[in-house]
């Protein structure tokens, strides 16, 4: 349906349909974020011998996140006197909008995808890079020393980790011969790329945790050093925007990992009577769980060590992986 | 024109990692610290001055509030000073109760340090695990004294009251449990690559520097000086127990970590032996209701979890001391901080400060 709409003449009705669909997706994502946060807190509680949220919305705390977001909505919105006001207001938007935009191309099942564009992978990488600007802007505009350091760290970290992230995916693109995410999933019908590209998977996974600014790479907001890093001056819903974008990215990154390495909605042999959506959900949840698990287990890496690791370890490994993949592909073509 | 400038940054008094109301004014060039000036006194309550108007028994609750993580040692050092001056003979059972309480306190204090240190480094779970075990110790000490942190348990000549029934059995049960958990701690943290990278080779000082700065406790032992007052100048009944004094040679944050973790094990050994030898008898010596210390002065020092805690009393033979002074180890250990921070990375600030293990109640007095 969307394909037809994309090729039809622009009209107000078409715009309305697109807008409606976008709002629908927003609610799907916000629904995930709501329960993603809850499940993260519950898993963390389980691992740390606590109960986690258990008050609002029954004994599982099902409405805890809703209550939290509502609280943030009605909180006072403070803007520091000496802040750069326009930039200060703009920064959360710049951080959040791309997080939502990248979802457009992600295929959840063969039937559920917003826009099937040819360069889906490239689009994801390009758009997600914009969020960094939002974070740096926030750090600068707050006119706070901690925010500034946090913002600078974020910029440095994003640059060092975006490159290995992209490089690790070149191997997949080489094998598939396409940047389209649907083609990539189709190419994994027999073997998932995690088995064909294990090195790329490891590099990608580490770099993606760093991209998500999560433990052990949560330097930009390093609570114990920089208090809260780039969002130290933000309150209320502006702050919530940063947090939401972080969790939307987590959603997107878990989806991307599933699509690129775990065969998307493909089933494992002999179990194809289980619907595609459930397969996708299972793999997605596994990735999400591991992300939470990592957060509970590890301490934070130091800024300079992080740079060193990104440039001196991950990047060379990713490059070597590209070289090896290309070589093997050519050799296979020869015989 | 492009230029760079140094930035003055206030770390604290409200900062998540200064463990209370410690303030550090640092000059930074990017993320490199050029100069650090500690500012203390936000928690100063004038314990020493207050003591001049209080009877000796009344001073004991004030000592609880110095190093509130190991209040038993503070209780002890005051009582010990008074007892030394009066020449009181302490009943056996009281001595054992004191030692068990103090060693439990040492374990609890090191557990808090371990948990919060890892929290500073960015790991959230160890904090909760450490507090789970500490909670058991706190419960034990609550049963003994009636308070969770400010015990006010020791008295001149013994302890306030005897341990409740089964208490000793509970302590005996706790020791193997704690050993088991300690193994888990090492598994989770000690070998972790990220953790080792963060603390190894950070905040190094030499044996000479440590002595020059008058460091004590694990901060001294991490440089290779085997100095523990429980061994070198045995007080109470410490000469009856076999235990080691863990030392390291490197003098970095990681060696301090190791020293403290091993000290927990040594403390458990002491507790185990004390529980085995635990005698029957009275818990309070015959001392007058109103304690008057003979004219003169005395200084005693003992090993607290943070280092050497000392108590100096000058008495004119009255109910109150003429002058009371505590040698507070956190305060002395903190002196080396500006030197350690110079030229360090901003991220190392927390690692170095945390490794010193200060308690603000004790620093500010």
User: CB-based contact (8 Å) between A306 and chain B?
Assistant: no
Q: What confidence score (pLDDT) does residue B138 get?
A: 92
Whether residue A224 is found in the same domain as residue A207: yes
Q: Is there a contact between A222 and B345 if contact means CB atoms under 8 Å apart?
A: no
Q: For residue B129, give every residue at least 6 positions away whose Cβ sits within 8 Å of its Cβ, in sequence order, or none.
A: A48, A49, B115, B181, B184, B185, B188
Q: How far apart are CA B302 and CA B118, in angstroms?
A: 28
Q: Is there a contact between A225 and B31 if contact means CB atoms under 8 Å apart?
A: no
Q: Is there a contact between B345 and A302 if contact means CB atoms under 8 Å apart?
A: yes
Share of chain B above pLDDT 70, in %: 100
Q: What confidence score (pLDDT) does residue A4 get?
A: 66
Domain end position, chosen among A74, A96, A121: A74
Q: So where are chain B's domains?
A: 7-364
Q: What confidence score (pLDDT) does residue B299 get?
A: 92
Share of chain A above pLDDT 70, in %: 94
Q: How far apart are CA A324 and CA A331, in angstroms?
A: 10
Residues of A in contact with B123 (CB under 8 A): 215, 297-300
Whether residue A115 is found in the same domain as residue A131: yes
Helix (H, G, I), strand (E, B) or coil at A6: helix
Q: How far apart are CA B60 and CA B156, in angstroms?
A: 9
Residues of A in contact with B194 (CB under 8 A): 216, 298-301
Q: Is there a contact between B129 and A49 if contact means CB atoms under 8 Å apart?
A: yes
Q: Is there a contact between A299 and B129 if contact means CB atoms under 8 Å apart?
A: no
Q: Is the peptide bond before A216 cis (omega within 30 degrees of 0)?
A: yes
Whether residue A121 is found in the same domain as residue A68: no
User: CB-based contact (8 Å) between B152 and chain A?
Assistant: no
Residue B145 has pLDDT above 80, yes or no: yes
Residues of A in contact with B350 (CB under 8 A): 224-225
Q: How confident is the model at residue B312 (pLDDT cuts 50, 70, 90)?
A: very high
Helix (H, G, I), strand (E, B) or coil at B236: coil
Whether residue A105 is found in the same domain as residue A155: yes
| Fold category of B7-364 in CATH | Cytochrome-c3 Hydrogenase; chain B (1.10.645)
User: CB-based contact (8 Å) between B341 and chain A?
Assistant: no
| Of A47, A216, A224, Cβ closest to residue B120 | A224
Whether residue A304 is found in the same domain as residue A175: yes
User: Residue B238 gets which letter from DSSP?
Assistant: G
Q: What are phi and psi of B217, to 5 degrees?
A: 70, -150
Question: Which residue shows structure tokens 């940054």?
Answer: B9
Contact (CB, 8 A) for A32 and A20: no
Q: What confidence score (pLDDT) does residue A265 get?
A: 78
Q: How far apart are CA B267 and CA A123, in angstroms?
A: 59
Residues of A in contact with B15 (CB under 8 A): 227
Sign of CA dihedral B181, B184, B188, B189: positive
Q: How far apart are CA B14 and CA A235, in angstroms?
A: 18
- The segments of chain A whose pLDDT lies below 70 read 1-8, 110-113, 220-225
CA A282 to each of CA A60, A108, A186, A254: distance values in angstroms, whole numbers, following the listed order: 21, 12, 18, 11
| Of B16, B198, B345, Cβ closest to residue A223 | B16
Domain end position, chosen among A44, A74, A104: A74
User: CB-based contact (8 Å) between B245 and chain A?
Assistant: no
User: Residue A301 gets which letter from DSSP?
Assistant: P
Q: What confidence score (pLDDT) does residue A223 get?
A: 64
- The residue of chain B with its CA nearest to that of A50 is B128
- Could you give the number of structural domains in chain A? 2
CA A180 to each of CA A122, A123, A307, B224, B251: distance values in angstroms, whole numbers, following the listed order: 9, 10, 31, 62, 55
| Of A216, A224, A297, Cβ closest to residue B119 | A224
User: CB-based contact (8 Å) between A302 and chain B?
Assistant: yes
Domain end position, chosen among A46, A74, A102: A74
Whether residue A211 is found in the same domain as residue A311: yes
Q: Is there a contact between A48 and B16 if contact means CB atoms under 8 Å apart?
A: no
Q: Is there a contact between A215 and B122 if contact means CB atoms under 8 Å apart?
A: yes
Share of chain B above pLDDT 90, in %: 12
User: CB-based contact (8 Å) between B124 and chain A?
Assistant: yes
Domain enclosing residue A153, as ranges: 82-332
Q: Is there a contact between B122 and A224 if contact means CB atoms under 8 Å apart?
A: yes
Q: Is there a contact between A225 and B123 if contact means CB atoms under 8 Å apart?
A: no
Whether residue A69 is found in the same domain as residue A86: no
The pLDDT tens digits for B41-93 are 888 888 888 989 988 888 989 988 888 888 889 999 999 999 888 888 889 88
ipTM of this complex prediction, to 2 decimal places: 0.80
**DSSP secondary structure string for all residues of B187-206:** IIIIT-HHHHHHHTTSS---
Q: Is there a contact between A297 and B123 if contact means CB atoms under 8 Å apart?
A: yes
Q: Is there a contact between A302 and B125 if contact means CB atoms under 8 Å apart?
A: no
* Kind plus residue range of the DSSP H or E element containing A175: helix A145-176
Name which of A210, A225, A307 to mutate to probe chain B: the one with the most chain B Cβ atoms within 10 A of its Cβ: A225
User: Greater confidence, B171 or A21?
Assistant: B171
User: CB-based contact (8 Å) between B349 and chain A?
Assistant: yes
Residue B123 has pLDDT above 80, yes or no: yes
Beta bridge partners of residue B323, listed in sequence order: B314
Whether residue A40 is found in the same domain as residue A89: no
Whether residue A66 is found in the same domain as residue A140: no
Q: Classify B14 in phi/psi space as left (phi over 0), alpha (psi -120 to 50) or beta.
A: beta
| Of A146, A223, A305, Cβ closest to residue B197 | A305
- The residue of chain B with its CA nearest to that of A299 is B123
A272-276, B7-11, B278-282, B307-311: least confident range? A272-276
Averaged pLDDT score across all residues of chain B = 88
The pLDDT tens digits for B5-44 are 788 888 878 777 777 788 888 888 877 888 888 888 888 8
Q: Is the peptide bond before A128 cis (omega within 30 degrees of 0)?
A: no
């Amino acid at each position: 349906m969307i394909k037809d709409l994309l090729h039809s003449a622009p009209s107000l009705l078409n715009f309305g349909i697109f807008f409606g669909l976008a709002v629908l997706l927003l609610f799907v994502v916000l629904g995930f974020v709501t329960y993603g946060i809850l499940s993260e807190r519950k898993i963390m509680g389980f691992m740390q011998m606590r109960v986690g949220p258990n008050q609002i919305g029954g004994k599982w705390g099902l409405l805890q996140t809703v209550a939290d977001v509502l609280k943030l909505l009605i909180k006072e919105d403070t803007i520091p006197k000496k802040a750069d006001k326009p930039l200060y207001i703009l920064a959360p938007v710049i951080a959040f909008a791309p997080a939502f935009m990248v979802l457009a191309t992600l295929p959840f099942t063969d039937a559920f995808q917003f826009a099937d564009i040819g360069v889906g992978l490239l689009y994801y990488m390009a758009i997600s890079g914009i969020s960094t600007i939002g974070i740096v802007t926030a750090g600068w505009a707050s006119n706070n020393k901690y925010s500034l350091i946090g913002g600078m760290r974020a910029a440095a970290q994003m640059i060092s980790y975006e490159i290995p992230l992209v490089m690790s995916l070149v191997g997949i693109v080489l094998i598939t011969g396409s940047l389209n995410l649907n083609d990539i999933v189709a190419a994994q019908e027999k073997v998932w790329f995690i088995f064909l590209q294990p090195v790329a998977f490891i590099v990608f996974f580490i770099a993606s945790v760093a991209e998500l600014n999560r433990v052990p790479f949560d330097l930009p907001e390093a609570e114990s050093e920089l208090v809260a890093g780039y969002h130290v001056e933000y309150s209320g819903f502006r702050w919530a925007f940063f947090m939401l974008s972080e969790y939307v990215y987590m959603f997107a990154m878990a989806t991307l990992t599933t699509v690129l390495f775990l065969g998307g909605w493909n089933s494992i042999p002999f179990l194809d009577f289980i619907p595609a959506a459930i397969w996708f959900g299972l793999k997605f949840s596994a990735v999400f769980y591991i992300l939470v698990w990592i957060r509970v287990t590890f301490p934070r890496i130091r800024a300079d060590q992080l740079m060193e690791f990104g440039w001196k370890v991950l990047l060379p490994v990713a490059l070597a992986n590209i070289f090896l993949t290309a070589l093997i592909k050519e050799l296979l073509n020869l015989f | 024109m492009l230029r760079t400038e140094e930035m003055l940054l206030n770390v604290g008094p409200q900062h998540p990692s200064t463990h209370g109301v410690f303030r550090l004014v640092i000059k930074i060039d990017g993320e490199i610290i050029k100069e650090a000036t500690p500012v203390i006194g936000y928690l100063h309550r004038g314990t020493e001055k207050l003591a001049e108007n209080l009877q000796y028994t009344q001073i004991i609750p004030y000592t609880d509030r110095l190093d509130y993580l190991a209040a038993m040692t503070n209780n002890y050092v005051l009582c010990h000073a008074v007892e030394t001056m009066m020449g009181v003979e302490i009943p056996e059972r009281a001595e054992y109760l004191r030692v068990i309480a103090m060693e439990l306190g040492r374990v609890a204090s090191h557990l808090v340090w371990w948990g919060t240190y890892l929290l500073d480094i960015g790991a959230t779970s160890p904090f909760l695990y450490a507090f789970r075990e500490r909670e058991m110790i706190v419960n034990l000490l609550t049963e003994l004294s009636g308070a969770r942190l400010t015990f006010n348990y020791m008295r001149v000549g013994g302890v306030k009251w005897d341990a409740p029934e089964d208490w000793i059995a509970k302590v005996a049960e706790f020791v193997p449990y704690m050993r088991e958990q300690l193994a888990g701690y090492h598994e989770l943290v000690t070998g972790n690559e990220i953790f080792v990278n963060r603390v190894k080779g950070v905040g190094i000082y030499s044996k000479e520097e440590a002595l020059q700065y008058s460091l004590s406790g694990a901060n001294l032992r991490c440089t290779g000086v085997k100095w523990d007052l429980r061994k070198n100048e045995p007080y109470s009944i410490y000469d009856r127990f076999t235990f080691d004094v863990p030392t390291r040679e490197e003098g970095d944050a990681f060696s301090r970590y190791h020293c403290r973790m091993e000290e927990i094990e040594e403390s458990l050994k002491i507790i185990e032996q004390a529980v085995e030898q635990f005698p029957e008898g009275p818990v309070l010596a015959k001392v007058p209701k109103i304690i008057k210390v003979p004219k003169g002065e005395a200084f005693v020092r003992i090993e607290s979890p943070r280092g050497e805690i000392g108590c100096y009393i000058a008495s004119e033979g009255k109910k109150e001391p003429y002058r009371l002074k505590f040698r507070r180890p956190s305060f002395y250990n903190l002196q080396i901080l500006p030197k350690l921070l110079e030229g360090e990375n901003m991220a190392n600030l927390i690692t170095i400060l945390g490794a010193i293990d200060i308690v603000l109640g004790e620093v500010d007095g």
